């Protein structure tokens, strides 16, 4: 049962990463007005997906516990980096790889303890 909550938490983090990509895509575009900058499909969709992601994570607190769910949050940083590489062509630098390794090590240490 705990595995289901773990995979659901990873899915929630994937949704959060997708929402960040949508928001970043919208931010890179020129908008006709201040209102259109915040009231467009990418922004509204990004925030809607983020709300769904948060709701899933709140549900995961039931099975993972508070600390285990919080430890899963940095997984979205890794996913955002990978999705930014795919959709925006951003470079993956040595420092980014080092950061990902530290995140993975932190998660591994937490789940082994």
> How confident is the model over 34-43, as pLDDT tens digits?
888 889 999 9
Instruction: Provide the 8-state DSSP code for 91.
Output: -
The predicted pLDDT at position 113 comes to 66
110 token code pair: 């937490």
Mean pLDDT of all residues in 76-88: 94
28 to 22, 24, 101: CA distances (angstroms):
10, 6, 29
Residue 33 binned pLDDT confidence (cut-offs 50, 70, 90) = confident
Residue 1 binned pLDDT confidence (cut-offs 50, 70, 90) = low
User: What residue segments make up the domains of the chain, in order of their start?
Assistant: 2-112
pLDDT tens-place string over residues 63-75? 888 888 888 888 8
The predicted pLDDT at position 112 comes to 79
Name every residue whose Cβ is closer than 8 Å to that of residue 17 and which is 6 or more positions away in sequence. 76, 79, 80, 83
Say what the pTM is: 0.87
The predicted pLDDT at position 38 comes to 87
């Amino acid at each position: 049962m705990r595995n289901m909550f773990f995979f659901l938490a990873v899915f929630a983090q994937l949704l959060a990463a997708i929402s960040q990509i949508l928001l970043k895509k919208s931010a890179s575009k020129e908008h006709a007005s201040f209102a259109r900058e915040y009231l467009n499909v990418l922004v509204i969709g990004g925030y809607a997906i983020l709300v769904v992601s948060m709701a899933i994570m709140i549900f995961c607190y039931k099975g993972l516990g508070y600390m285990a769910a919080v430890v899963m949050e940095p997984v979205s940083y890794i996913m955002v980096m990978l999705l930014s590489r795919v959709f925006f062509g951003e470079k993956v630098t040595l420092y980014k790889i080092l950061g990902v390794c530290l995140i993975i090590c932190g998660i591994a240490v937490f789940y082994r303890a």
